[in-house]
Chains A and B, each alone.
Chain A
Amino acid sequence: MGNEVIDKFNIFQGGIEMKKYLSGMLAMLMLITLLAACGNPKNENTTNEGSSSNPKEQTVTLDIAMHVANVKDQEPAMYKAIEAFKAKYPDIKVNLTGADTNDHIKKMKIQAQTGEMPDIFWMLPAPAKEMNQAGMLLDLSEMIRNTPELSAIDPMMLKNYEDGGKQFGLPYQSLVTGLWYNKALFEEHNVKVPETYEELAEAAKVFKANNIVTIAKGAKDNYSIWAFLGMFTRYGYFDKIDAILAGEEKFNNPDFLLFFDKIAELQKLGAFPENVTTLSYFQAVEMFTSGKAAMLDAGAWETVKLEGSPIAKDVGFSWGPTFNDGVGNQKISMISASAPLVASAKVKEDTVKYDAVQKFFTFYYSQEGMQIMVDNQLPPINSFEADVDAAAHPVYAELIKAMNEPGWEKPFAQPDLVVSDAIGNAMYDSIYGVINGFYTPEQALDLIDKKVEQQ
């Protein structure tokens, strides 16, 4: 009986059955392929390859990728610049895409593996430098030499994105960071807006007693420590960092320890929100705009939001406190190059595309482009004469006022942007570790040293 079953259960004996089964499956596969193919007009974007003899008459598509998902709403200046650029050069098409910062960086790195990067994209400095070392990015030196708009960019900012004799990126924006403050709260509690650390500590005591947060911050977004990075430069960060990275010096050194002691002291004074460990940066901003915090650690990018908030008329901008035990110049205004815009090395292979990239950068850094930045309340990168209507844009006027204050010196860069991502993140963790009350200053500094050793 067993054998009978074996014989009958043989699909190749029941050949018709098998054929039915196979053809059914094939039909289904074909149907689905068809379905998928319909909605997939092969992406033959780029240029009509090969015939680059008369560049003027060809249309070309520039792929631009940014670090936000919805460029139109979240990076309006860039969006408007691209719209204006398209209007000016109708034969250049722009395919603008974006993803949330983390996803964008991940995506660019993955695409770099196969050389499929977009023509122009935003990138963090450390990975951009690595891409440059791997020969994946376009060297912009020649383009800068030939274009007055580009050679007008602050040489120090350009130097941030120069490595191995190649200019691999251009500053996307001016990175202006510090402490926003609420004048009304300072007046109400009769506290002086702090210029020195001692004044800041005094202010913290008064605000704590009145149940007001001195500096709004959110540890959930551990990168939100801009003002503290600025303060770091007042303890000789740029004098020491090269030696530290070379292994000849430590983060845990007497000068840096003095700085971290100050953070620990502020923490003990209750200068930070009680729930700082669970707050996100967005919630910290909300805390400030709703009048619950006297200061906010942030930067120029919040101008528009602050102008739309109920406290718009009361907002001021400061570079953060100076320290009497600091190292070197204390009057450092944190104006530096933001993360760069870079271009794919592949652009070089196509003269039409190279031309389009050059046109785009030229436009972006031209007076016309600067005007778009100013219209969107961003600090211009290139020298630009603009009258700010203080009545219409009170917060922006405050920002520009602080930027033009005489006697302040710009740093080389923002401290976290000259080290690898891993060390930069260890810096965030260690400063927030002290703010959260989790680490002593020594433990926090050792944490960064450990990361440096691993690199």
Chain B
Amino acid sequence: MIWLSKRKSIFVMLFPTLLLFTGYIIFPIIISFYYSTTKFTGIGTPEFVGFSNYKLLLGDSFFWVSLKNTFIILGVSLVLLIPFSFMLALLLNRTFKGSDALKALNYTPSIIAPIVVGLIWVFVLDPQMGLINILLVKLGLGNLTQMWIGGKALAPYSIGMVFVWQQLGFIATIFLAGLKMIPRDVYESSSIDGAGPKEQLWYITVPMMNETNRIVVVLVITNVFKIFETVFMLTGGGPNHQSEVLVTYMYNTTFTSAEYGYGMAISTIAFLLTMLFSIAYLKLSKSNFEGEGG
């Protein structure tokens, strides 16, 4: 069943990717880590300060706020984005009149330039001039109006919703690709065995989508930790850093406040956390998967 491959052929297959990836991604990460141990404004010579940037982070309340917000968005995404996009994929997997066009249209939010995404949602979420609050008032539900953004509490949830909206089509497309790869005859034979659509969904589609699920969850985790443009355009991390997420806070310290070393310490932490979560998830889900597959 198993065949061995020659080392040389493996090397030829891997080499171009390894070279580019190491040069353009890993090498810069190492450099960034080095900067995180220095005091550096981005100009002149960095001054080595050991781990004092990391110590400062522990006492930086804005950092903790940005971490908390990132986790809130992660929670919102895992709870809403994954089931919704799976359902959307199931919906779009049916062939019907205009289904191609619908697939394209559902993907639109992911296409729009991030600067425009932020701008659109300002006009939806703003407490004074946003669509939601104005509609609520017009419907006589004025007491339900909220500080969707600009307050202290709701902003990360609102950002989470925008993220869900933006990623829905993207994640659904991945689910869709997974659905398309399930061989049709599996369904055919199960139909003959008398399985209805519900049974097929639970006992065939969901288990067969295991790889896809793993991909999607990892993508959601890593994309949440990388959220930047939406927040930057929607609230700028404000008011007073209350809606900051890890990457916007990193950007603001690194480039606006010119604390390059400190900013790189934040990105190192962000990177490590993302890795931690993704690997933990992959490990956990793998044991499940292997248990089933044998």
Contact of B241 among A9, A221, A429, A454 (CB under 8 A): A429
CB distance from A272 to the nearest CB of B (A): 12
Q: Determine whether the beta carbon of B126 is less than 8 Å from that of A275.
A: yes
**A2 at the B interface (CB under 8 A):** yes
Contact of A102 among B6, B122, B253, B256 (CB under 8 A): B256
Q: Determine whether the beta carbon of B44 is less than 8 Å from that of A5.
A: no
**B255 at the A interface (CB under 8 A):** yes
Could you tell me which residues of chain B, from 102 to 161, have a CB within 8 Å of some CB in chain A? 122, 126-129, 147, 149-152
Complex interface: chain B residues within 8 A of A433 (CB): 239-240
Contact with A along B32-45 (1 / 0, CB 8 A): 00000000011111
Tell me which of A2, A10, A220 has the highest count of chain B C-beta atoms within 10 A of its own C-beta: A220
Contact with B along A427-440 (1 / 0, CB 8 A): 00100110010110
Contact-size category for B: 35 or more
CA distance A235 to B255 in the complex (A): 30
Q: Determine whether the beta carbon of A277 is less than 8 Å from that of B238.
A: yes
Q: Determine whether the beta carbon of A432 is less than 8 Å from that of B3.
A: no
Known: A220-B236, A425-B257, A438-B239. A275 touches B44 (CB 8 A): no
**A131 at the B interface (CB under 8 A):** yes
- Give the segment of A56-64, A105-113, A376-384 that binds chain B: A105-113
CB distance from A70 to the nearest CB of B (A): 15
Contact of B42 among A127, A220, A278, A429 (CB under 8 A): A127
CA distance A425 to B255 in the complex (A): 11
Q: Determine whether the beta carbon of A438 is less than 8 Å from that of B240.
A: yes
Contact with B along A125-148 (1 / 0, CB 8 A): 011001101101000000000000
Q: Determine whether the beta carbon of A221 is less than 8 Å from that of B256.
A: no
Contact of B43 among A136, A275, A454 (CB under 8 A): A136
Q: Determine whether the beta carbon of A127 is less than 8 Å from that of B238.
A: no
Q: Determine whether the beta carbon of A278 is less than 8 Å from that of B43.
A: no
Q: Determine whether the beta carbon of B43 is less than 8 Å from that of A112.
A: yes
**A420 at the B interface (CB under 8 A):** yes
**B268 at the A interface (CB under 8 A):** no
Q: Determine whether the beta carbon of A421 is less than 8 Å from that of B240.
A: no
**B5 at the A interface (CB under 8 A):** yes
Closest A residue to B130 by beta carbon equals A278
Q: Determine whether the beta carbon of A10 is less than 8 Å from that of B9.
A: yes
Q: Determine whether the beta carbon of A454 is less than 8 Å from that of B56.
A: yes
Closest A residue to B8 by beta carbon equals A12
Complex interface: chain A residues within 8 A of B238 (CB): 219-220, 222, 277, 432
Contact with A along B232-271 (1 / 0, CB 8 A): 0001101111100000000011011111000000000000
**B4 at the A interface (CB under 8 A):** yes
Complex interface: chain B residues within 8 A of A110 (CB): 42
**B2 at the A interface (CB under 8 A):** yes
Closest B residue to A451 by beta carbon equals B257
Known: A277-B151, A436-B239, A439-B240. A134 touches B258 (CB 8 A): no
Complex interface: chain A residues within 8 A of B42 (CB): 106, 109-110, 112-113, 127
Could you tell me which residues of chain A, from 183 to 233, have a CB within 8 Å of some CB in chain B? 219-222
Q: Determine whether the beta carbon of A278 is less than 8 Å from that of B149.
A: yes
Known: A5-B3, A432-B239, A433-B240. A421 touches B257 (CB 8 A): yes
Q: Determine whether the beta carbon of B258 is less than 8 Å from that of A421.
A: yes
Contact of B6 among A12, A131, A432, A454 (CB under 8 A): A12
| Interface contact tally, CB-CB below 8 A | 103
Contact of A275 among B9, B128, B259 (CB under 8 A): B128
Closest A residue to B44 by beta carbon equals A134
Q: Determine whether the beta carbon of A278 is less than 8 Å from that of B126.
A: yes
Complex interface: chain B residues within 8 A of A432 (CB): 238-240
Contact with B along A84-106 (1 / 0, CB 8 A): 00000000000000000010011
Q: Determine whether the beta carbon of A11 is less than 8 Å from that of B150.
A: no
CA distance A55 to B9 in the complex (A): 60
Contact with B along A11-25 (1 / 0, CB 8 A): 110000000000000
Q: Determine whether the beta carbon of A429 is less than 8 Å from that of B126.
A: no
CB distance from A168 to the nearest CB of B (A): 12
CB distance from A417 to the nearest CB of B (A): 14
**A6 at the B interface (CB under 8 A):** yes
Contact with B along A328-350 (1 / 0, CB 8 A): 00000000000000000000000
Q: Determine whether the beta carbon of B258 is less than 8 Å from that of A420.
A: yes
Closest A residue to B259 by beta carbon equals A422
Contact of B9 among A6, A12, A105, A438 (CB under 8 A): A12
Q: Determine whether the beta carbon of B127 is less than 8 Å from that of A6.
A: no
Known: A220-B238, A433-B240, A436-B240. A278 touches B256 (CB 8 A): no
CB distance from B118 to the nearest CB of A (A): 11
Known: A219-B238, A432-B240, A436-B239. A275 touches B6 (CB 8 A): no
**A265 at the B interface (CB under 8 A):** no
**A274 at the B interface (CB under 8 A):** yes
Complex interface: chain A residues within 8 A of B152 (CB): 438
Complex interface: chain A residues within 8 A of B56 (CB): 454
Complex interface: chain A residues within 8 A of B1 (CB): 2
Q: Determine whether the beta carbon of B44 is less than 8 Å from that of A438.
A: no
CB distance from A99 to the nearest CB of B (A): 12
Q: Please list the 10 inter-chain residue pairs (A to B) with the smallest Cβ-Cβ separation, ordered nearest first.
A: A278-B150, A277-B150, A277-B239, A134-B44, A275-B128, A421-B258, A109-B42, A422-B257, A130-B43, A5-B3
Binding site for A on B (CB under 8 A): 1-6, 8-9, 12, 41-45, 56, 122, 126-129, 147, 149-152, 235-236, 238-242, 252-253, 255-259
10 additional A-B residue pairs with CB within 8 Å, beyond A2-B1, A102-B256, A222-B236 = A105-B255, A106-B42, A130-B44, A131-B43, A133-B44, A219-B240, A275-B129, A278-B128, A278-B235, A425-B256
25 of the cross-chain contacts (CB-CB < 8 Å) are A2-B2, A5-B3, A106-B42, A106-B255, A109-B42, A110-B42, A112-B43, A113-B42, A127-B42, A133-B44, A219-B238, A220-B236, A273-B128, A274-B128, A275-B127, A275-B128, A275-B129, A277-B150, A278-B150, A278-B239, A420-B258, A421-B256, A421-B257, A425-B256, A429-B240
